[in-house]
Chains A and B, each alone.
Chain A
């Protein structure tokens, strides 16, 4: 946005001040995430930069905390649990959520608003309330402190994301494609797999990614519905910060930032593909 020739000095000054303010806000957003990366290569068990690190002395850096992460059984158990719980809850959420989104996108759905309200309620209710309710209820069913309990809880929490993303994909869905397919002799099953699935797949995948991230990041419900046996990475980080702060948490955090970057890239690519498929320009 080059400044036109007729701008006054005052406008120029404001223009650049505004940019500086925005730069500072962007810095506020991104700096805390970037700062933990060098901190995780610390040699000492503190969350600070040592003088050696500041003078860029190679002696000041180590992989000590990464080694701890990859050898410590507590952390390894947490990684295993995180993946098991996230994968199974994503499968349940994606399957049920996609079916429901297909139903919701049909032209005649009775009580659509009410149904939608119920289906996305897990997203609206604050996590602490969901966690409290599930803790009480799952204790009655002996599901508290089991993997199944946590998986069911996470699946419930992530379905709204699948419903919303898949419904959004279906908004621009051209119904005549289904009729064309039937007209050309395809059975409903063939139509579903050859026509509907490829078109809604980007939505389903990004819904599944949202579901996966919801479960993978979720800590409140795990704290209550799960126990040590179901500890996930966020669970372990939470109790780590509360009890004994060790830079292993920073190493884990750095790895999670890398995961976040990969997720962001995938979702962004999917979104662009989806828009290209529907004939819109990527924006």
Chain B
């Protein structure tokens, strides 16, 4: 120990003598550090406004949505008395609660009926078990007529579901401020009467299948895009600059055209009495009655989306292919490879970064696509995003919509990390 300290002293002593200072006498090191800190602060100050803006207008909504997926405040808020009283009840037994809990329920129902809030509880519980919404609506209407205890008897007489132990088990299970049920429902799972997690009934299993279909169709779209993009990117990269600059307009114009315009034109082309069917009938390829149905199904979605996403594949491929010197291919040929072999063994491996970037990009955009599947997808060509939209604006099951959106977001983020590994965020280019 003592030796080490002595060594340190010996080592540092000569350095102190030679310390460099700036004109005003501060050590150079300190002064440089101060300048660096000032520089960093200045950079952060420039970034701060946008950072805050994105935080408030964009990230907070996303986090709010994460919370929506577990939010269950309806129950403790509008059923406060029952929920509290139920804490002592044993859901594993076979006995429904006793009179005191029914009295709390009666008070909750009465208050909820007056404020017209009890329907929300019914709606919330109906996601778990059908019939709950009507039970609470009925209770809202009839609770006024009940005046005297015993409430247990009166309520069960009004609707026998109040005497069903499973109704009580459900309320008991969903009494907390948070719930797992939306996230479970998004995976086609549910909690049964005894509180264990199991798969949803066969007929109600839709989301896992839908996620599967979304991923599968996106993969198909990505592969088709790659097959179509590869030759034209190759052509663009080998043609003289003047010609390729003109041809690339054919790629960029669709890229800049509103996607609704492109979707509309595919509707005009593909529908039953659309341009392609008319042409086929005129050419006698199909009969008047045998018009092809190419829209409002999977085919329509795939065709329209390949068209919309093709530029996103061509542009990264083209930018990679442009950098491959033509001499590589010539070298391979002069070393005896036939054109095919030279292409597969020399050219293709060089384009892998472009293929990777393009494929991940197209796949990411594709799995989150909403508009085109909604307009041309019919029922079997829809994606998970269409169900998120459906639950937001039609079924109003916002919790489930949020849970599905979070799952989709998780998939996209994983893919994005992959994209970052392959291409790097900073290398992202536009146009």
Contacts and interface: CB of A to CB of B under 8 A. Distances in A.
Interface residues of B, number: 91
Interface string B67-108: 010000000000000000000000000000000000000000
Given A132-B401, A159-B53, 18 more contacts: A29-B254, A29-B310, A33-B253, A39-B268, A100-B47, A103-B43, A108-B36, A126-B368, A128-B370, A128-B405, A129-B368, A133-B64, A138-B61, A156-B54, A224-B389, A241-B375, A253-B261, A257-B261
A260 B258 contact: yes
9 contacts: A49-B278, A109-B40, A121-B54, A130-B61, A132-B392, A133-B65, A161-B430, A213-B256, A264-B253
**For this complex, into which size category does the number of interface residues on chain A fall?**
35 or more
Nearest to A240: B264
B398 A136 contact: yes
Nearest to A47: B268
Interface string A215-245: 0110110011000000000100110011001
A26 B232 contact: yes
B53 A96 contact: yes
A90 interface: no
Interface of A: 1, 11, 14, 18-19, 21-22, 25-26, 28-30, 32-33, 35-36, 39, 46-49, 92, 96-97, 99-100, 102-104, 106-110, 113, 115-122, 124-138, 140, 152-153, 155-157, 159, 161, 163-165, 168, 206, 210, 213, 216-217, 219-220, 223-224, 234, 237-238, 241-242, 245, 249-250, 253, 256-257, 260-261, 263-264, 267-268, 271, 283
Interface of B: 36, 39-40, 42-47, 49-51, 53-55, 57-62, 64-65, 68, 228, 231-232, 235, 238-241, 247, 249-254, 256-269, 271, 273-275, 278, 307, 310-311, 339, 364-365, 367-371, 374-375, 385, 388-389, 392-393, 398, 401-402, 405, 408-409, 412-413, 416, 425-426, 428-431
B307 A29 contact: yes
Given A22-B232, A36-B261, A241-B264, A134 B370 contact: no
Tell me the interface secondary structure of chain A in the complex: helix
Nearest to B236: A22
A263 B81 CA distance: 62
A115 B51 contact: yes
Contacts of B241: 283
A264 B249 contact: yes
A96 B408 contact: no
Contact of A217 (B61, B258, B431): B258
Given A11-B339, A241-B264, A283-B241, A128 B389 contact: yes
A70 B108 CA distance: 57
Given A30-B254, A132-B65, A122 B264 contact: no
Given A132-B402, A238-B371, A26 B50 contact: no
A108 to B, nearest CB: 5
A220 B57 contact: no
A48 B268 CA distance: 7
B40 A110 contact: yes
Q: Which 9 A-B pairs have the closest CB atoms?
A: A126-B368, A103-B46, A133-B61, A137-B61, A100-B50, A128-B385, A47-B268, A103-B47, A96-B50
B43 A106 contact: yes
Given A103-B45, A136-B68, A152-B57, A30 B269 contact: no
| Max chain A Cβ within 10 angstroms of own Cβ: one of B250, B365, B369, B431 | B431
Given A22-B231, A153-B57, A32 B307 contact: yes
Contact of A33 (B59, B261, B368, B428): B261
B54 A242 contact: no
B260 A125 contact: no
Given A33-B253, A35-B268, A132-B401, A224 B53 contact: no
A25 B232 contact: yes
Contacts of B269: 32, 35
Given A156-B54, A213-B256, A108 B43 contact: yes
A18 B64 contact: no
Contacts of A238: 260, 371, 375
A47 B54 CA distance: 42
A36 B265 contact: yes
B416 to A, nearest CB: 5
B247 A237 contact: no
B46 A1 contact: no
